[in-house]
Amino acid sequence: MILPKSNRLSPDQVAEITRIVEASGCKIQPIVGAVRTIYAIVGDERDELMMTRLEGLDYVERIDRIQSPFKLMDKRSDLASHRLTIGGVTLGEQLFVIAGQCTIDPKNPNYFYETAQAVKEAGANALRGGVWKPRTNPYTFQGDTKSLEILMEASRRTGLPVDTEVMEESHIHLALEAGVTTLQVGARNALNYSLLRAIGKAIANKPTAVLLKRSIHMGPINEFISAAEYIAAFGNPNVILCPRGTTPTLDGYRNHPDESITPLLKEKTWAPVVVDPSHSVGKASYVPACALAAIAYGADGLCIESHVNPTAGIGDDPKQALTPEVLAKTIVQARQLWALRHG
């Protein structure tokens, strides 16, 4: 819908916008009011070049889009009935919990094996473990491909499906060959469209899921959903949206907690929402409250860091990982709140 700055456009202006929209296979339909005339775009208004040209006209005040910018992720798309099942849990029908270490320490694999068993006993449905880790400081531990073997061995021992972050195309193929259930796209790569396309292509004919974290910068909701569209466009709709806190940070927290965007996501897309409270607040003592807030906002699940001995962990575990005992209590409370919301 085109809203001009004046009450109506001149004949020359109407002719100009008509040329622009017809070049994209659309038409213009004036809607004449008592005082003002606005102009509807009839056709597929998702043509970005057309919209950019119209927005650049100095006599156009603004353009209100009627259609969703998402062909696949939109709540009204043909995929709206799609359901994702991981480890026997269908997201949206039961609370789904991913738990485990931020970073797998290849020098101490037993810590991860013990953590894996502990999070299973605590009630987690899937196991997370960082194999490759993006770091702001180039001199800190960046992960180790050897950790992929530890992750998959923990999966065999516990029977839990696994989630790990991939940062480049070679990681995608290594993870898929190993049998990783869910590929994670971290906040620093959430808008890396080349990586998103590569993931979409690699999993096009596979049951693999993708946990897509929100960009570390407080980008628009539509930007978040559009990133998921890049993956789904290749044919695999198994995408999970994961708010995990953004910048600028909120005093006292690692990031700015953003679990409150869950209802907005639910309003726009059918994709399940799994919130990461660990990175959101960045301190173990705050994580349970943030997790429960996420469920109250309508999240379908949680991604929580846990370690049998957080002080002995590497990466973020010493600061934000829950002990298995606290994790178990948090999961019980989260499931009670889930039942209250969905009862």
Neighbours of 264 (CB within 10 A): 15
Query: Phi/psi zone of residue 25: left (φ > 0), alpha (ψ -120 to 50 degrees), beta?
Result: left
pLDDT, tens digit (0-9, with 9 covering 90-100), for 271-295: 999 999 999 999 999 999 999 999 9
How far is 284 from 324, CA to CA, in rounded Å? 12
Name which CATH class applies to 78-342: alpha beta
- Looking at this protein, which amino acid is placed at residue 119? V
Q: What's the whole-number mean pLDDT along residues 31-52?
A: 89
pLDDT value of residue 282: 94
pLDDT, tens digit (0-9, with 9 covering 90-100), for 47-66: 889 999 999 999 999 998 87
* pLDDT exceeds cutoff 70 at 177: yes
Q: What's the whole-number mean pLDDT along residues 19-32?
A: 93
State the chain's maximal CA–CA distance in angstroms: 76
* pLDDT exceeds cutoff 60 at 257: yes
The β-bridge partners of 98 are 126, 303
Q: At 139, is the pLDDT very low, low, confident or very high (cuts 50, 70, 90)? A: low
Q: What's the whole-number mean pLDDT along residues 179-203?
A: 96
SS3 157: helix
> Does domain 2-63 match CATH 3.20.20.105?
no
pLDDT value of residue 220: 86
- Per the document, the length of the chain is 343
Q: Using an 8 Å Cβ cutoff, are 262 and 243 in contact?
A: yes
- Pairing relation of β-strands 126-129 and 162-165? parallel
Percent of the chain with pLDDT over 70: 97
Q: What's the whole-number mean pLDDT along residues 232-256?
A: 93
For CA atoms 327, 339, 292, 99, the dihedral sign is positive
Question: Rounded to 10 degrees, what is the CA torsion of 198, 202, 203, 208?
Answer: -90
Q: CATH 3.30.70.1140 residue ranges in the chain?
A: 2-63
How far is 96 from 80, CA to CA, in rounded Å? 19
Which string of DSSP letters, residue by residue, matches 162-213? EEEE--SHHHHHHHHHHT-SEEEE-GGGTT-HHHHHHHHHHTTTS--EEEEE
Which string of DSSP letters, residue by residue, matches 260-313? GGHHHHHHHB-S-BEE-HHHHH-SGGGHHHHHHHHHHTT-SEEEEEB-SSGGG-
Q: CATH 3.20.20.70 residue ranges in the chain?
A: 78-342
- Looking at this protein, which amino acid is placed at residue 187? A
How far is 244 from 290, CA to CA, in rounded Å? 11
Q: At 136, is the pLDDT very low, low, confident or very high (cuts 50, 70, 90)? A: low
The tokens for 326 are 């606290």
Q: What's the whole-number mean pLDDT along residues 207-211?
A: 97
